[in-house]
Each structure stands twice: as structure tokens, then as C-alpha cells.
Structure 1
């Protein structure tokens, strides 16, 4: 059975039905721009636009770029601060008229990679990092998720790491691939000192260009690989969460 997933980002909101048997999109994803300002009501309207595009009427999973606890958003680093303390599940369920499950965006991507992608079968400590508007993180040990780690906000050279090493930082600073790779390398080294993972999985949109920067990263003891689901992982993970919350049968969940 297919389940719908929506991935809310700082710059775009994208979604599609997901085939959870195979962990892949069941149709071409539809994307709209994140409204500015990205208030809860404005974003909810764009999420509805994405879901309505497919005529979807079943459960929906939605990712959010921040800490999510029992459906309530607790932080909002890359969206409007009105999200802080918002019952996102209630807001979106009211707007969509269907059951909604909300979770952290990187946690969703990590769940997809651990189940279907580069982390499948790995039982040690695995860290999925998504590089985009910010840096998201999902930490797994023994295949189990430690939710809402938000390692993009670790301090790096006196700054929030994501302000130095995210994809947006590369674009805004007009950084070459080698220069940006050095920043990513310093960030990975910092995370490795704290967690000693056996595997880093690098996701987000930049994972499509992994050949341009991953070979330049040196001195990391952990294995460093690109995400197999690339930038669809958030959508797949969102659908997985909706499936698990509603006990929708799916062989891979």
C-alpha cells in the first residue's frame, strides 16, 4: 500500500505517494516554494497544495526542519519562529482533513536510509547528515533512532556548524568544491570525536553531487558514503512514520 510523504524545507516543500514495499516514490514528486515568511498557516497552505496535487485522501507523513516532540514543533532555525510551540500535527490535520504524523526532517531521511538505503543492515552507530538550507542529523545505534539530535547546531569555529558547512553556506559564500569539502571535513571530524560512528551517510540535495566533494574529505576514521535515496529520503521517511502511526500494512515497516 502507498502512503503519502511531504518534506518541508527552508526553501522548498515537496511530496509524493510512496511505495513502502520498495522504499521508493510511487509517482513523480511535486514541489512548491516555501512561503516567505514561512509561518505555520502559510506553510500549511503550501502543504495542502502539494497533497491536493495528487488528490490524496489518506494518512500523510510530514517532515519539519526542527525538533518535533509528540507532534509539536519545538525549534525553528530555518523557518518562521511562530512554529515554536505549534501543534503541527493538529494544524496540518485540520487543514488537510486527514490523519497527519509530523517528525524531524533528518530523522525521516535517516529512517529511510537505515531501512532501504546506505545504512541497511548496519547495527553499529550510524549518523545520517543532510546538507541543505541547514544541516540535519539522525543518529542510530543498533538500528534504533535517537530522535531530534540537531547536530547541525554544534559549534564549529565559533559558529553554528550549519552556518559554515551547509549547502546554503556553500552557495552564499560562492565556495569552490575543495574549499567547501574542507569545511565539511572539519565538521565530520568534530562529530566523529563526539560519537565515534562506524558510518556517516551524507544526504540532502548535495548527495547527488557526492563525487565532487566526498573524495576530497580525508582523515575521517568512519566510512563516509552518499545517501542512496538522495533527496527523496525525507519523503520516504515521512511516509514510513505515517504508516507506523496508523498501522498501515507495509512489508518494509
Structure 2
């Protein structure tokens, strides 16, 4: 019988979080444990911090599946980019590095992708047919593409370019840009209007889900956007990475094409385990 619990670890540029997750309900069964990401975020230091959060979580049973989310393009266990972490992660055998360092198997995936998994299994995109695009608005803009409940991994829609401006979308429209440029909600929404209209034109999605910490303020800006596509806030916010990483921890056969769900008509609990 598949496990009904798993551990999720969410590695970010500023913090590393972990928790024990109920895979049937998509909720934390433990406190959320967090430590600061080590300065420079080089591989040995990040591994030590992951060991620290797992030690504080006090879940040592290797039979409990473990999923790890990381802020990079992840393909076949290798990190191909580095967002707010050391450049040493580029082209690095990260999944094997963590497995060797932790002495156990893990499932390793991109952080925005696992947030998408959390929302399609347990949140705003559950049961949604067609194409759902989740975006996380924070220091940058992360994205996850989910088609009929199946993850298409490693999209980087925060890096679409603004013609003639020399900067990508996240430099212009991420939540950090609002803070940096001291924008009002209305002014920031004008930038988001450009971004979501452009993504809508490129992909014709059926649903936008907006995640990241700012999603708790969705009532301040989502109603200001004029789109053909429904746009809703994410449900899991700051816990999405933990929950999604744990949910994917049971997928071991195809880490770069991890299925978010069995077909949509299946019972939700059968997908969770």
C-alpha cells in the first residue's frame, strides 16, 4: 500500500522549509520547520541546512517518502539553472548529491512546478480540465503548466522578454518590482495586466492560478485585471512548496515528467495514495 504521508522540503533563496504532509488531504501534519538559506547557497551548505530542518522535524524513517523542491530548472535530477542560489548548481547532479548526502532516495523537482502540483491535487486547480497556468509572484515570477492535471515541467514564463525594454517579465512585474519601485496596487496591476495578457495570448489557458506570498492579498489586485481567462488565488500560499514536494515524493519512475494526477475522472484519494 502506498504511503499516506510524506515529507516535503522547499529550498528557496532566503529560507528552507519542511513539513510532514497528509497526502490524502494535502495539509501539514506537523509544524512548518524553517531555517535561513546559507549565505551564498553553495551545495554543501544547502545540504547541511536540509539536514538541519529534517532533524528539527524529527522524521527519520526512511520509509516515509521525501520530496525536495529547488529554485532551478530540473531535468533528470540535474539542476540546469540557479535562481538566488550559487552558480555552482548549474549543470549539477543535485538529486544524486542530496540522495548521497541524506543516505536515502528522494524525489527532486522545480519549486514552482511543485506549487502547481499542490494546487492541482488539493487546491484551486483541482479537477480543472485543459491548461492551467500557475504563476508565483515573489522575488521573481515562477510558473507551472498543468494540462488535464498532468505537469509539463520546467516552464520559465517569468523570463519572457519585453520587446525594446531589455528586461524580462519578472524584472518588470514580480512582487519585488512593486516593492522596489514603490508602486500602488493599482500601478502594479497595470504591469500585471501586460504580463497576463501576453501569457494569455501565447497559451490560451483555461485558468490562471496566482501563488506566492502575495496571493493572500489577492483582493487588492486580481479584480483590477481584465482577462478572458479566469484568474484565482492559490490556496496553499507559503506551504505550497512543501505540500507539492511531498505529493510528488511517490513518483520515482519519471522525475522529469512527473504526473500530477491520474485522469481527472479518477477519485482524488486514489491519486494521492
TM-score between the two structures when normalised by the length of structure 2: 0.87
Provide the C-alpha distance between the structure 2 equivalents of 1:34 and 1:84, rounded to a whole number of angstroms: 18
The alignment covers a number of residue pairs equal to 250
Provide the C-alpha distance between the structure 2 equivalents of 1:27 and 1:53, rounded to a whole number of angstroms: 11
SS across alignment from 1:163: helix
Shift of 1:14: 0.9
Q: 1:121 corresponds to which residue?
A: 127
Q: What's the RMSD between the two structures over aligned residues?
A: 1.7
Question: Aligned pair 1:39/2:42, yes or no?
Answer: yes
Runs of 4 or more, structure 1, over 3 Å off, are none
After superposition, residues 62-101 of structure 1 pair within 5 angstroms as: 62-101=68-107
**181-190 or 92-101: which moved more?**
92-101
> Of 239, 243, 246, which aligns to 1:239?
246
Q: 2:52 corresponds to which residue?
A: 49
Can you list the C-alpha shifts for 1:46-75, whole angstroms capped at 9, x where unaligned? 111111111222432111111101111011
Provide the C-alpha distance between the structure 1 equivalents of 2:228 and 2:93, rounded to a whole number of angstroms: 40
Q: 2:257 corresponds to which residue?
A: none
Question: Structure 1 or 2: larger strand share?
Answer: 1
Q: 2:6 corresponds to which residue?
A: 3
Question: Aligned pair 1:150/2:156, yes or no?
Answer: yes
**150-159 or 102-111: which moved more?**
150-159
Gaps of 5+ in 1: none
SS across alignment from 1:75: coil
Please tell me whether the aligned partners of residues 13 and 83 of structure 2 are also in contact (alpha carbons under 8 angstroms): no
Larger Rg: 2
Q: 1:162 corresponds to which residue?
A: 170
Gaps of 5+ in 2: 254-268
Q: 1:192 corresponds to which residue?
A: 200
> Of 190, 195, 204, which aligns to 2:212?
204
Please tell me whether the aligned partners of residues 119 and 201 of structure 1 are also in contact (alpha carbons under 8 angstroms): yes
Question: Aligned pair 1:221/2:249, yes or no?
Answer: no
Please tell me whether the aligned partners of residues 15 and 29 of structure 1 are also in contact (alpha carbons under 8 angstroms): yes
Provide the C-alpha distance between the structure 1 equivalents of 2:137 and 2:111, rounded to a whole number of angstroms: 11
Can you list the C-alpha shifts for 1:23-68, whole angstroms capped at 9, x where unaligned? 1111121111222211112211111111111122243211111110
